[in-house]
Every structure is written in structure tokens, then in C-alpha cells.
Amino acid sequence: MTLTGAPAVAEALDLLAGRPLVVLTGAGLSTDSGIPDYRGPGSVPRQPMTYQEFVSGADARQRYWARVHVGWGKFRGADPNDGHRALARLDPALLITQNVDGLHEASGQRRLVALHGRIADVVCLDCRRQTPRTALEHRLAELNPGWREDHADLVLRPDGDVEVDDWAGFVVAGCEACGGVLKPDVVFFGENVPKDRVARCYDAVDALREIDGALLVAGSSLAVMSGLRFVRRAARDGTPVVIVNRGTTRGDELAAYRLEVGCSEFLTTLTARAEELRGS
């Protein structure tokens, strides 16, 4: 059921506050930190670069890095919001995030699976060496002096990039170890989430059945299977599912409640209620 009023929120809070939880978060949780989402109200539909396109040739990678180099300066300045901080205090049995922004880690979240990786890491597709994104961005700034400043007025998009129309002059950096192709260490569209991450999430969701727990989804439209599969698994096992999201989701029919309320507001209230119960 999709509900918006105070009684529905109260019922959902009663359902969740005293139970062990697994929490699944999506881009809607980070909008209060200034990072736009893909499918929320006011978002502009767009097709992110796929893995297949990224590896298709140098021109695609040049376009990609020209855009994200500008966006990185805006993206890395984001701070955790009240929703992130509330979840860190709530300390669920496991927090599963589809976000790559690292804001859950920055808020002090203890038990976390970043399904799609972290945008702050870079991997070489040839030698598999991992390096910090900050080091690569420093190299890109040296290779492309003034590029970020010349495009500073462009608007940040959900993938952490901006819309740059002419990237012909942008110089792409290769791996310092082998000269190979560098890619953010995140799961692009067209790639699979690593099996060990998926297995850990399934284990946590399955455990809810034995401990009378619940699955809470915050800020995800569940448009991609990487998150929806956990909702389906919980519903199959009879585990209650509560979805908090601005807009419909692919999991609505499986949820006990789908609430049209803000993530930060709901999570702050839920955490306060749970802390009261722990202290009683």
C-alpha cells in the first residue's frame, strides 16, 4: 500500500522500531547532500555510460573522464546528511547501499556493503591495481590545466559528472604502473555486482526471517535488479518490507508500507524511536 499521512508513518515506525533491521539505500537518500538522483521528482531521465561503451574505445573514455573530472570537484564536497547520520546511530544488522558516494562510510556506518563500489577508488582494467581517485584527479588537473575551472558553471548529474559537449582536447591519464585503462572502481551498467557482496546481503536478509526482523528501503526506486532482488527475497520469506521513497518503486506491491515521505525526516524519527526503546 502507498500511504502518505501521519497515521501510516506511525504504523510503519511501530513496525520497524523494535525489530532487527537490514536497510537498503539508494540515490534518494543523498539528495539532501546535494547529489541529484536518477528517477526522483524533478530528475531528468538519462542513460549513464555502460561498461561496454567505456571499454569500446579511447573516444568514449575521453568523453567520460572529461565530464567526471569537472563533476568530481562538486561531488567530493558533499557531506553526510541527517539521514546518513541517523542510520549510523541506528546501526542496523547490515546496511546495503546502491550509492557510490561514500557518505555512509563518512557518517561512521559500521556494517556496510557498498553494492556498486565507491567512486573514490580507481582500478586499472589491465593490471587490476587499485589507487585513490584523488591521486588520479591530481594527475588529470596537471594534464588539463584550467579544464575544471572553464566548466565550473555546469550542473552536477547523478553519476558525478556534468554535460560537456566538446571533449576533444581532454587528455586521459593511464595507469602509472602499466599504462593500462583506468576506470572508477564502481559497477557500471552492464557489469555484475561481485558475488561475495551479493551473498553477504542475501545472508543478512535471510537471517531476518529467524529473528523477526524487517527490511527497510530508503530512497531507492528499485529500478535495477541489484536492489530489487533483496526485496523479493524478503517478501518471499514473509519478512515485512517498508519502502520510503518519493515516487513509485518496482517493489511497491511487495511492501507492507510504501511511504511518500522524505528519507532524512523518516530515518531521524525512526532512530529516535529505536533509541528510546533501547533505553527503556
Q: Which residues are catalytic?
A: 116
- What's residue 1's pLDDT? 52
Cα-atom radius of gyration of the chain, to the nearest Å? 20
Domains parsed from the chain with CATH numbers = 1-35+82-116+193-280 (3.40.50.1220), 42-77+119-186 (3.30.1600)
Across 194-227, b (16+ Cβ under 10 Å) vs e yields eeebbeebeebbeebeeeebbbbbbbbbbebebb
Establish whether 201 is an annotated binding residue. Answer: no
Is 127 annotated as contributing to ligand binding? yes
What are all long-range contacts of 253-258, with beta carbons under 8 Å and residues at least 24 apart?
A: 255/1, 255/217, 255/231, 256/1, 256/12, 256/15, 257/1, 257/3, 257/8, 257/11, 257/12, 257/15, 258/1, 258/2, 258/3
Confidence of residue 76 (pLDDT cuts 50, 70, 90): confident
H/E stretch holding 236: helix 225-236
- DSSP codes, 51-75: HHHHTT-HHHHHHHHHHHHHHHHHH
Amino acid, single-letter form, for residue 183: K
Judge whether 119 and 101 are in contact, CB under 8 Å.
yes
Which has the closest alpha carbon to 146: 163, 173, 183, 171? Answer: 171
Report yes or no: 228 and 202 within 8 Å, Cβ to Cβ.
Answer: no
Taking only the tens place, the pLDDT of each residue in 53-70 is 999 999 999 999 999 998
**More confident position, 236 or 165:** 236
Write the burial class of residue 142 (CB in 10 Å: 0-12 exposed, 13-18 middle, 19+ buried): exposed
178 is an annotated ligand-binding site residue: yes
Residues 174-213: tens digit of each pLDDT: 999 999 999 999 999 999 999 999 999 999 999 999 999 9
DSSP run (H or E) holding 107: helix 103-107
Q: What beta strand segments (E) does the chain contain? A: 2-3, 21-25, 94-97, 112-114, 117-124, 130-132, 182-186, 214-218, 241-244, 257-259
* Confidence bin at 73 (pLDDT 50/70/90): confident
What's the whole-number average pLDDT of the chain? 91
Q: Which of 76-80, 85-89, 118-122, 226-230 is the least confident region?
A: 76-80
CA gap 36, 212 in Å, rounded: 35
Closest alpha carbon to 97 in 118, 78, 70, 74: 118
Block residue for cell numbers 591519464: 173
